[in-house]
Amino acid sequence: MELTTLAERIGATILTGPPPGRVEIRGVYAGDRISDLLNQGNADTLLVTNLTGIQVLRVTELMDVPALCLLDGAAPEPELIRAAQQHDTVLLLSPLGMFETCGRLYACLGAASEARV
Amino acid sequence: MNTTSFTITGGDFDHVGAAASGLKRKLKKLGVPPDALRRLVIAAYEAEANIVVHAREGTLRATLGPSRIDVEIDDRGPGIADVELAMQEGFSTASPAAMALGFGAGMGLPNIKRNSNTFAIESEVGEGTRVRFSIDLPPQKLSVPLGSSVRMAAEHCRACMRCLHVCPTGALRIRRKGPEILGHLCIDCAACIGACETGALSAPDENEVPPPSERNLLVVPASFLAGFGPEIDAHAILDALDELGFGEVRLLGDWERVLRQAALAYARDEAKARPVLSPVCPAVVNLVEMRFPALLGHLAPFLSPIEAAREELDQAHAVVGVSCPAQYSVLTGRSSSAPSSDLLPAHLSRLRDAVLPIASRRKRTSTPTPAPRPASADAQQSHADVLRATGTRHVLKVLDKAEEGLLADFLLVELYACDGGCFGAPAGGEAPSIASARWRRVREGFAKPAKAFRRTAPFRARSGMRLDEEMARAIEKLARIDRLTAELPGKNCGMCGAPTCGDLAEDLVLERPGTLACPHTTAGPETQP
């Protein structure tokens, strides 16, 4: 599913503008351990995490992850937003916690997708 | 240099991953395949994170060898008391602060081991830890020097050097003996044929034209029907072809049309990457495979129109007219044997000579030109989503933009290597703009159903740019080429027979036979004692 559509459907705000092209999301991985995000991240996966440190953006950059969804409506530090803009990573902010956010993502992408929540 | 090292500072959480990132950028440029690169990046990141989390400082050194990448990580820190325990998934001694950032999951070392081909660790408490791992690189064959379907007649070459400067891949050289094509660089685009005024470079024409009586179905490019001037219309040409024994004539444009529809549908429903590139011109596909491997995933997985026509029509009854070297190559698989049943560009012009007197005799008294039908809303919509460009100069610009990701507002990109599309191919008899304008008037009545075919073989990057089978030597040669290029005057005049100073430097470093000296400096091939 196209990323901006997906963001709209789950009620997430887009904090850093999407790149000009279409970003197709085929899978979701949710987790709070860097090692897991590193292993599961790839070019068509949306990562969902409670981590808001700058380190998580290094992971998206290294693994070519197009987008990262932060949780609980907690606005991240401006530093994180700047870094996301620099690396062309789309930052989403969900007003909900991980459980509900993932529930909505699962409803959008369905069991047929590679949603690994 | 084929060794890179990075210094990593303990506790510097803001920069964890900087080494992995630097390594990724460098190795990507050197053409390390994606899967190996991914595993390397994960393992390097984990090793780097271990230093940041646990040690005072450390280094990461990566060495690129011919068949693998070796990585050594040394740190000065507390060391590991029980290595076996540390290797267990989930075991961690990280601080709560590191854990809050997502580190210390106890997955680092197992992750390195899982992603590498060899792994070793030794540690001394109070001193530090050494981790060694390596990632195997899949064997990458040095490019098999592919042939080119451009034919050369050295005796006609006047060394005017025009062809040198139009070749989009720098494949041409003018040696003392005449033109030479570096087969591994040639994309069969016919730009040089268009520039050659003496016939030293031409399209292939070696096989005999099969007598039409045996095969009565002929496939021709639209340019053939529009290539007889204002007086003779397409119907008169069809009548003449019928008299010559071709009872049925099909247009290659039918397969071009269905390819467009299939590629558009693919772009809407399946494509992972925008824009989708149509494989309509085999020379452009060659160019993408050679110069724009990042765009391979953008190519729609279908056969080109000429291959599709060959696939759909019964080999025994159809003669396919080939317009250019690229179509020829794609039908023959670049083998030296010509397709016995097909008409090559030179035959098409001979056939034109045969058709002309008959068609003039049978010239129809001006059949009224059907008014062009208004394009349907759907056709207009698809038109707005399609970017079309012709001629290698424009094609290169479009591919550059596509590679930078700046064309995602288009659904489909159709590129043709010849100026004016296939109307500008070597087989065309009329100027492409004129022939295509005439064709637009009459084409409505000629469309027939055709099929698009999925490719079974994937598009593959041509690894023709590597300078040496061994990565380390290739890097060393690249450095020598760069040095020599800087010493040359940079006029790119072509007087030495190579299109640019950089190409001459490459010829000299790789000791290509027949290389001539630079007329402006002392650079030249070493003289034989």
Return per-residue pLDDT of chain B as tens, 529 residues.
478 899 999 999 999 999 999 999 888 767 678 889 999 999 999 999 999 999 999 999 998 877 789 999 999 999 999 999 999 988 999 999 899 899 988 889 999 999 999 999 999 999 999 999 999 887 654 444 456 888 888 889 999 999 999 999 999 999 988 899 988 889 999 899 989 989 899 887 765 555 565 667 889 898 888 888 888 888 888 888 888 888 888 999 999 999 999 999 999 988 888 899 999 999 999 999 888 888 998 999 999 999 899 888 866 577 888 888 898 888 876 444 445 567 777 778 778 888 888 888 876 555 555 555 555 544 555 578 899 999 999 999 999 999 988 998 999 999 999 999 999 988 777 888 998 888 888 887 788 899 999 987 778 877 655 677 677 787 788 889 999 999 999 999 999 999 999 999 999 998 898 899 999 988 888 754 3
CB-based contact A33 B16, cutoff 8 Å: no
Yes or no: say if B24 and B43 are a contact pair by the CB < 8 Å rule.
Answer: no
SS3 assignment, position B49 = helix
CB-based contact B17 A58, cutoff 8 Å: yes
Neighbours of B272 (CB within 10 A): 12
Gap between the Cα atoms of A81 and A89, Å rounded? 9
Q: How many CA atoms lie within 13 A of A13 on its CB side?
A: 11
CB-based contact A39 B46, cutoff 8 Å: no
Name, in order, each residue with C-beta under 8 angstroms of B140's C-beta and a sequence gap of 6 or more: B31, B33, B463, B466
B102 → closest Cβ in A19, A39, A55? A55
Residue of B nearest to A42 (CA): B38
Yes or no: say if B8 and B20 are a contact pair by the CB < 8 Å rule.
Answer: no
A29, A38, A48: best to mutate for the B interface, most B CBs within 10 A = A38
The whole-number pLDDT of residue B209 equals: 58
How distant, in Å, are the alpha carbons of A96, B114, B168, B377, B494 from that of B158?
A: 75, 62, 21, 53, 14
Name, in order, each residue with C-beta under 8 angstroms of A25's C-beta and a sequence gap of 6 or more: A1, A2, A3, A6, A44, A45, A46, A66, A67, A109
- Name residue A52's amino acid: T
Yes or no: say if A70 and A76 are a contact pair by the CB < 8 Å rule.
Answer: yes
CB-based contact A34 B105, cutoff 8 Å: yes
A55 → closest Cβ in B17, B272, B409? B17
CB-based contact A62 B103, cutoff 8 Å: no
A24 → closest Cβ in B49, B272, B405? B272
Closest C-alpha among A69, A64, A72 to residue A97? A72
Gap between the Cα atoms of B284 and B83, Å rounded? 55
CB-based contact B102 A49, cutoff 8 Å: yes
Neighbours of B34 (CB within 10 A): 10
> pLDDT: is A114 or B219 the higher one?
B219
- What's the CA angle centered on A9, arms A117 and A37, to 5 degrees? 30
The whole-number pLDDT of residue B528 equals: 42
CB-based contact B46 A38, cutoff 8 Å: yes
What pairing do the DSSP bridges indicate for beta strands B172-175 and B178-181?
Answer: antiparallel
B107 → closest Cβ in A33, A61, A63? A33
Residue of B nearest to A63 (CA): B38
CATH classification (class only), A3-109: alpha beta
The whole-number pLDDT of residue B207 equals: 58
A58 → closest Cβ in B16, B46, B274? B16
Residue of A nearest to B15 (CA): A55
Q: Averaged over A63-87, what is the pLDDT?
A: 92
CB-based contact B102 A32, cutoff 8 Å: yes
Gap between the Cα atoms of B209 and B215, Å rounded? 11
A58 → closest Cβ in B21, B107, B272? B21
Residues of chain B that touch chain A, judged by Cβ-Cβ distance less than 8 Å = 13-14, 16-18, 20-21, 24, 38, 41-42, 45-46, 49, 101-103, 105, 107-108, 111, 272, 274, 405-406, 408-409
- What single-letter DSSP state applies at residue A116? B
- What single-letter DSSP state applies at residue B272? S
Per DSSP (E only), the strands in chain A are 13-14, 27-30, 45-48, 67-70, 90-93
* Cβ-based contacts of B42 with chain A (< 8 Å): 38-39, 63
- Name residue A84's amino acid: A
pLDDT-based confidence at A112, cuts 50/70/90?
very low
Between chain A and chain B, how many beta carbons pairs sit less than 8 Å apart?
70
Q: Averaged over A88-97, what is the pLDDT?
A: 94
Closest C-alpha among B414, B185, B148, B385 to residue B279? B414
How distant, in Å, are the alpha carbons of A10, A23, A90 from that of A20?
A: 21, 9, 11
**Cα dihedral angle (B489, B490, B492, B497), rounded to 10 degrees?**
40
CB-based contact B101 A53, cutoff 8 Å: yes
Domain ranges of chain A: 3-109
- The residues in A 13-42 lying below 8 A from B, measured between CB atoms, are 19-22, 24, 32-39, 42
Closest-CA distance of chain B to residue A62, Å: 6
A62 → closest Cβ in B24, B105, B406? B24
A78 touches chain B (CB under 8 A): no
Gap between the Cα atoms of B291 and B269, Å rounded? 27
* Cβ-based contacts of A2 with chain B (< 8 Å): none
Predicted-complex ipTM score: 0.86
What residues form DSSP beta bridges with A48? A30, A69
The structural domains of chain B, ordered by start, are 3-136 (3.30.565.10), 217-446 (no CATH), 467-529 (1.10.15)
Q: Averaged over A68-95, what is the pLDDT?
A: 92
CB-based contact B103 A34, cutoff 8 Å: yes
Radius of gyration in angstroms for the set of CA atoms belonging to chain A, rounded to a whole number:
12
Gap between the Cα atoms of A94 and A75, Å rounded? 10
A1, A32, A42, A55: best to mutate for the B interface, most B CBs within 10 A = A55
Residue labelled with tokens 């887009």:
A14
Give every strand in the sheet of B276-277, ordered side by side: B276-277, B412-416, B386-390
Is cis: bond before B211, omega within 30 of 0? no
Query: What separation, in Å, do the N-terminal and C-terminal C-alpha atoms of chain B show?
Result: 33
Name, in order, each residue with C-beta under 8 angstroms of B427's C-beta and a sequence gap of 6 or more: B203, B221, B223, B224, B321, B322, B323, B324, B345, B348, B349
Q: What is the pTM of this model?
A: 0.60
